[in-house]
Structure 1
Amino acid sequence: MAAKFCMECGQPLELRDFLGTERLACTGEGCKFVHWGNYSIGVGALVLRDEKVLLVRRAIEPGKGNWTNPGGYIEQHEPIEETIVREVYEESGVRAKVREIVAVRDQPRDIHNVYIAFAMEYQEGDPVPDGVESDGAGFFSLEEMKEMKVAGFTQWLVNIALNQTGAGLKADKSPIVPVNGHGFSILND
């Protein structure tokens, strides 16, 4: 769904050229609001325990009935590392700690979606589905997954989790300049 009205003054929006790209801009006198686009940021967890990966079975669309890695969307004022810890716990009852970012998916479309996958360290808890978003939860081996309806994107992420050889992207806790948020980069150990 496209925005139709200004979020600041309520006047209609119209298409205008901004440096060669058409953007919706306010028609209100003196208002300088520009709608830069619609974006969503999703996160996913790759939690390993004893050579098995934590998966949950989707109880809702999209993907109802598929086994996926736990994940969800960030809240407006929530740090991304807190989001993935929360999502894992909400969907599976498992507590896990962020180790590193291991994959990023970029899907430019009407609502531009960016998905960030985290390798996470299992801490505690037995997998239990939340009964709302998930109706199944457990740690599964690759062999067990062959008999399950695992979503394609999750298969790609599981392969990364089990076969990655690089260091991954890690939170830069002491950047050389302030980044006004949280920065992630490849860091030397």
Structure 2
Amino acid sequence: MLDLSANFCLKCGIALENRDIDGTIRKACPNCDFIFWGDYSIGVGALVIKDDKFLLVKRAQNPGKGYWTNPGGYIEQLESIEDTIVREVEEEAGIKAKIRSIVAIRDLPRSVHNLYIAFAMDYLDGTPIPDGVEADEAGFYSIEETESMNVAPFTKWLIHLAYNGKSEGLLKDLKPLVSLNDHVLFRIS
């Protein structure tokens, strides 16, 4: 399916044309090298555990208004994934946490193709306080407590995966065999 969301070149402003790029019809500029590859977003979510309880926030706006979810959000263009998830947890719930591992990845192909990366995070400091914009409640809850809450189905899946998972997940590679400047790498343990 051809994505029609871009009609003009983002580099020079010329109207884009349909062109076969490596066997796929894409919008491309006839004047310069710009190719519209599609519309993508990368979301991140945090599974912060403290005393066998998960940090959850109650969504104050859509998507998911009224549901309890794990804190998270979208990566800004020039922001690292690590900075994003640490920022989102602190913004939405007032909690300082650090990344331990990647526990799940969700691929949701649609008009804006969404990739979501869920991180297990270690609690560092703070008391759950909602931001009052994206979240109107925040707290740490046990799996038993979540059974009577309006927890979003995807969040339920993530909680059970993080709580019952047999793997450490993908861990940040602090000493890669080959140094790759500006890369943050995660690997199996």
TM class by smaller structure:
over 0.9
| Partner SS state of residue 92, structure 2 | helix
Aligned to 1:157: 158
Q: Distance in 1 between matches of 2:146 and 2:42?
A: 27
TM-score, structure 2 as length reference = 0.94
> C-alpha distance in 1, partners of 2:40/2:183?
18
SS in 2 for 1:88: helix
Task: Report the AA paired with residue 58 of structure 1.
Answer: R
User: 2:9 corresponds to which residue?
Assistant: 6
Q: 1:1-189 residue pairs with structure 2 within 5 A? A: 2-28=5-31, 31-179=32-180, 180-187=182-189
What is the rounded CA distance, in whole Å, between the counterparts of 1:73 and 1:55 in structure 2? 17
Q: Matched residues in 2 for 1:94 and 1:56: separation?
A: 11
**Could you tell me how far 1:107 is from its partner in structure 2?**
1.0
Task: State the aligned residue count.
Answer: 185
Distance of aligned partners of 1:71 and 1:15 in 2 relative to their CA distance in 1, 3 Å threshold: same
Amino acid at match of 1:107: L
CA RMSD of aligned residues (A): 1.2
Deviation at 1:117, TM superposition (A): 0.4
Residue 175 (structure 1) shift: 2.2
Specify every segment of 5 or more residues in structure 2 that has no aligned partner in the other structure, as ranges.
none
User: Which stretch of the first structure deviates more once superposed, 63-72 or 158-167?
Assistant: 158-167
Percent same amino acid at aligned positions? 59
Q: 1:101 is aligned with what amino acid?
A: I
Report the AA paired with residue 185 of structure 1. Answer: R
* In structure 1, distance between residues paired with 2:84 and 2:143: 27
Structure 1 unaligned regions, length at least 5 = none
Superposed CA offset, 1:42-81 (max 9, x none):
1000001111100000001011000000000111111111
C-alpha displacement of 1:160: 1.1
